[in-house]
Structure 1
Amino acid sequence: MRCAWGLALLMAGCASAPTPHGKVQGDAFSMQEVLQSDSNRIATLAMQENLDSLMRLMDKLYQRNPAEWRKTAASREAAMAHVRSAILGKQVWPALQAQRDVMALSKALSPDFTGDRVGAFIYAMGDMLLTSHGGKTSFTLVDSLNPQHVYNAARNVEIANWVLNHRKNAQGQPLLLSNHISAQERNLSFEREMGKVIARLDLVASFGTERVRRSAIGLGQSLVGGPLLQFLPVR
């Protein structure tokens, strides 16, 4: 009887509708897309997603480290808006002493940094990503990306993630509270979000290299195969 009851519960569970996890959505068509190749579009979408990932990371870090946003603004939301505006506006971050790119990232992760470490870290990450993409967030046919620079940016994100998880401040405490593993809880959402950024950067870098290689192969195929693929006269 117990086996029959358990089997009935299992059957009922299998028959229930799966939990919805959202739907994939694309951007609405814009005239700018006419000026974009496939690689341009992929790079544009990847950059947008990476900036969104940085915003999610900032929100999570501010929630776990509320003392940091208080160094920048009166609320967490205002601090996030300030950081985002500084990244997209290519402004300097005063606490980083006008440092940009990887120099800003190194300073934001130094143990003796006393400013808003979350804001400085996300700002430096965003500025580094922009620099590796030629200072742009959207790309058209007249733009070109250096695949090696994008690849290097992915490695920089890996290094920054490792430093964030292992480096301590002068008091022997983590620079910022992020991932958390205990007997009662496992929170690796920070690690997953950083992994997404790294994966997108690697894809853009690989696709950029592939685009150049495939163009060369296509040219070679047209030169070699062109004469052989001509139709023969039938009259």
Structure 2
Amino acid sequence: MERSRHICAFFCACAVLTGCSTTPAPRGEVKGMSVSGKEMAQSDTNRIATIAMRDNLESLFLLMDKLYRRNPAEWKKTGISREESIKRVREAVEQRQPWPGLQGQRDIKALSLALTPDFGGDRVAALIYSSADMIIAAHDGKTEFFLIDGLDAQHIYNAARNIEIAVWLLGSRRNSSGKVLLLADDISENGRNLSFEREFGKVVGRLDLMAEFLTEKYRRAGITYMQNLIGGSFLQFLPVR
């Protein structure tokens, strides 16, 4: 009887270990945008640009939440909760409204103001709003794109460089007290937290890829035209009967 119990326990342990080894840890899955009737008025390029814009804005809103958690004094300047601060910035971005704390400035002028050492307002809100506004401005002031829309690859490329400059200033500039403008990435004896750099890097990567894709699109259009022209004249099969 004792031997039977040991054998049963052994096989149960083997079953548990087998299950652990064959069941992969959850790692998420690819998620696309929901299907809508608007797609009928979008080319592949329009669709990619719309998805990239959505993801870039979501990255910025995620960064806003993370920056508020590391810099709670910023949202407390407004007298409202952190969640309400995030909601207001999101609404201002999505509705293309000016941000009150930026003196009516937009895109790169707003971004420059948000990163001045003596800026006294909610710097997190100002930084995220101005970054989003600058990216949207680089996309001709739009967040969704259709067949009638055109995008300038150089403007989108410039937006990527502006984000890189903003991140560098965020970590290198000091206020009058000698402190960094905002606490973000942290490398200390307790560990390394580079999540801010990674998320900003995603934004830069998407912008660069979009700029390169647009440049390639127009170049390939010319090549395709020539291929069709040559193929139409010389690469057709000849009749055999």
Task: Give the equivalent residue in structure 1 for 2:29.
Answer: 23
Are 1:138 and 2:171 matched, yes or no? no
Task: Give the equivalent residue in structure 1 for 2:173.
Answer: 167
Over the aligned positions, Cα root-mean-square deviation in angstroms equals: 1.7
Instruction: Could you tell me which runs of 5 or more consecutive residues in structure 2 were left unpaired when the two chains were aligned.
Output: 1-16
- 2:223 is aligned, of 211, 217, 221, to 217
Letter in 1 for 2:104: A
Give the ranges of 4+ consecutive aligned residues of structure 1 lying more than 3 Å apart after TM superposition.
11-14
Task: Give the equivalent residue in structure 1 for 2:158.
Answer: 152
1:14-64 deviations in Å (ceiling 9; x for gaps): 835332111112222211111111111111100000000000000000111
Task: Give the equivalent residue in structure 2 for 1:67.
Answer: 73
CA–CA separation in structure 2 for the residues paired with 1:181 and 1:12: 39
Pairs aligned (count): 226
CA–CA separation in structure 1 for the residues paired with 2:157 and 2:33: 26
- 1:51 is aligned, of 45, 57, 74, to 57
Are 1:206 and 2:180 matched, yes or no? no
Task: Give the equivalent residue in structure 2 for 1:110.
Answer: 116
Task: Give the equivalent residue in structure 2 for 1:231.
Answer: 237
CA–CA separation in structure 1 for the residues paired with 2:51 and 2:78: 30
CA–CA separation in structure 1 for the residues paired with 2:33 and 2:202: 20
> Which SS does the other structure have where 1:226 is aligned?
helix
Identity of aligned residues (%): 58
CA–CA separation in structure 1 for the residues paired with 2:33 and 2:203: 20
Answer whether contact 2:33 2:51 (CA < 8 A) is retained.
no
Answer whether contact 1:73 1:79 (CA < 8 A) is retained.
no
Answer whether contact 1:40 1:139 (CA < 8 A) is retained.
yes
Letter in 2 for 1:139: F
CA–CA separation in structure 2 for the residues paired with 1:61 and 1:16: 39
CA–CA separation in structure 1 for the residues paired with 2:228 and 2:78: 58
Answer whether contact 2:111 2:127 (CA < 8 A) is retained.
yes
CA–CA separation in structure 1 for the residues paired with 2:18 and 2:126: 51
> Which SS does the other structure have where 2:85 is aligned?
helix
Letter in 1 for 2:76: R
More displaced, 16-25 or 153-162? 16-25
1:174-214 deviations in Å (ceiling 9; x for gaps): 10011111011211100000000000000100000011001
Cα deviation, residue 222, structure 1: 1.3
CA–CA separation in structure 1 for the residues paired with 2:22 and 2:237: 60
CA–CA separation in structure 1 for the residues paired with 2:21 and 2:138: 49
Letter in 1 for 2:234: L
More displaced, 23-32 or 168-177? 23-32
Cα deviation, residue 233, structure 1: 2.3
1:81-133 deviations in Å (ceiling 9; x for gaps): 10111111111112211111101001000000000000000010010000000
The residue correspondences of 1:78-97 to structure 2 (distance < 5 A) are 78-97=84-103
Larger C-alpha radius of gyration, 1 or 2?
Answer: 2
Task: Give the equivalent residue in structure 1 for 2:12.
Answer: none
TM-score by length of 1: 0.92
Letter in 2 for 1:160: A
TM-score by length of 2: 0.90
